[in-house]
Amino acid sequence: MRPVREERPPEVEFLVLGALEVRRDGVPVDVPGRRQQRLLALLLLDIGRVVPSDRLIDNLWDRPPASARQQLHNAVRDLRRALADDGRLLATSDTGYRLTAPADAVDADRFTRLTREARAAERDGRLPEAVRLLRRAVGLWRGEAFAGLPGTALAAAATRLGEQRTGATEDLMALLLQTGESSSLVGELTVLLARHPLRESPRRSLMTALHRSGRQADALAVYDEGRRLLAEELGLEPSPALRALHAEILTGRPAAAPAARGLGTPATAPTVPTTPASASAFAAVEPPGRPNCLPHDLADFTGRAAEQALLRAAVARRTPGAPLVLVIDGMGGVGKTALAVRLAHELTGDFPDGQFFAALDGFDETRPPVPPARALAALLRADGLRPEQVPPAQEERSALWRARLAGRRCLLVLDGAADSAQVRPLLPGAGETLVLVTGRRKLGALDGAVALPLDVLPPSDAVELLARVAGRSRVTREPDRAAEAAARCGHLPLALRTAATKLRDRPAWTVAELAARLADPTRRAACLRTPDRDVLALLRASYRHLDGAQRRFARLLGRRATGDFDAHRAAALTGLSPAEAENLLDVLFEHNLVRQGPSALFSIHPLLRDCSATV
């Protein structure tokens, strides 16, 4: 058996696996000032490499002041003074600063080395030595990495290190099971699983430990809980390995110890760095592949040339190296998703590192909006993570998602957003990702986003959509009736498409008959409904986010207001004061339930009027 080498702390130690600490010859060194502490942490992320001043400034200030470069210089001076550095640790270059330190000076690097050595020991069959190495690696942790230090870069690094810590702990438990322990591990495994309920490795280990301890019912309960969580959170079933273990426990066969998944392998990356021990443990995680998750583009997509030109111009003007968020808002059925998907497909070549799509169901008439945590889990799964690699907390998922997008040129479509709060955790923090957000509400709280309000189609494009869906020959034979049918649909793309589908599937109908049905309020609803789509039900979902007073105001306006109107006219129709009416009109405008033209007068879409009686 090879002896485990004795650990001798270097002259200067930097401890990041917990709150940031510096020690010289084992004695704590005080680094005063939060800015100096964050600066040191940022330099440690790229130890041995020059960190550009611009990057340091961007990470130290949300909005860098004009004096940021001088303040950075002062912070470096104060940090050198705290470290009693004579220039050997913290060096200045033409473009930035470089922190150098002896091998193993950073506890995160020692952690990486120990887990790598444990992997080699396990591979060679030296299980007791692998256990000792992993115990030492896990014992380096004093809390969450970089605890108490804010910033996107530090949060991403903390998430990566936390994943490695969890993986090492899981591997330690698996190795202890292989060496014959069982009942003594139940408590620790229960705590580990409670922290990471979607990870498979601790669940398998806990089931094994319970079964070996004679607690078959408890082991089966752990499986049932995992199956329920996977279904609710990710819409998945347990893996074949977990199902096989469940079957073994049901039949009473001895449960084999789960194999370690590859000791020290970060759960967010396919491999562990195999560089020398001096290599940094903060190396960025390489994204696994280039997924394309976009839904299909509509072959009969019609119009929107001006809107596409505006969006493309915004993309062309984007700031190099920074994400861009485009928000397309408009009433239900106006074609926001179709436009976003069309643009996404056309821009795929400009964003080759992955195309993602998340349906947020903000205004779905059959289910509530998707929580950000669930959307993040789905996006991480789409980017190649296994269910057990998805962190349990929303903040951890968001940090991991940002870390995986950093440095990539991806395209992300967030469809049907309920509000800004649902979107914000899903946005990238760095890299050149383009984000297309659609929603029925105006999302003014997304700072820095470029907004495009989307209105109904022009009359000519509305008739063209009818022709493309129903058949050009039928529509062109009755141009006046086609224009009337399009107007009865309010030139709303979803209503046009639904009505045209009815016409296409009923050869005996004429365009005139379709127009007549659409003109009759009692028949219009049926004409705009198919087995899998109900236009008026979809529009009614827009009122779900209004309170009682706002819905009452919308209901009265829909029944009584005709043509264009202002706040004074709305007040007279609803019995409110002009100030109250103006405030409520502003709410409806934010939800795209009223339109406002260049004359500042308001109007209501005719199909929204049809919904007013039931809201």
Q: How many CB atoms lie within 10 A of CB 267?
A: 24
Residue 249, pLDDT score = 87
Q: What does the pLDDT look like over 545-563, one tens digit per residue?
A: 899 999 999 999 988 888 8
CA distances from 544 to 111, 366, 373, 438, 493 (A): 51, 11, 22, 17, 22
Residue 51 pairs with which residues in a beta bridge?
97
Residue 340, pLDDT score = 96
- What is the distance between the alpha carbons of residues 277 and 185, in angstroms, rounded to a whole number? 31
**Helix (H) or strand (E) run with residue 63 in it:** none
What residue ranges of the chain have pLDDT lower than 70?
1-10, 253-289, 613
Residue 357's Cβ-side half-sphere holds a number of Cα atoms within 13 Å equal to: 16
Percentage of residues of the chain with pLDDT beyond 70: 92
- What is the distance between the alpha carbons of residues 496 and 504, in angstroms, rounded to a whole number? 12
Contact 503, 514 (CB under 8 A): yes
Helix (H, G, I), strand (E, B) or coil at 388: helix
Residue 292 DSSP code: B
Residue 590, pLDDT score = 94
Kindly report the pTM of this predicted structure: 0.61
Least Cα distance to 307 among 345, 339, 266 occurs for 339
Q: What does the pLDDT look like over 46-74, one tens digit per residue?
A: 888 899 998 899 889 888 899 999 999 99
Residue 192, pLDDT score = 87
Q: What does the pLDDT look like over 302-346, one tens digit per residue?
A: 999 999 999 999 999 988 888 999 999 999 999 999 999 999 999
Per-residue b/e over 363-388, b at no fewer than 16 CB within 10 Å? bbeeeebbebbbbbbbbbbbbbbbbb
Least Cα distance to 374 among 354, 390, 355, 356 occurs for 390
Residue 437 pairs with which residues in a beta bridge?
327, 414
- What is the distance between the alpha carbons of residues 431 and 351, in angstroms, rounded to a whole number? 11
Residue 478, pLDDT score = 95
Least Cα distance to 192 among 184, 201, 183 occurs for 201
- What is the distance between the alpha carbons of residues 395 and 155, in angstroms, rounded to a whole number? 9
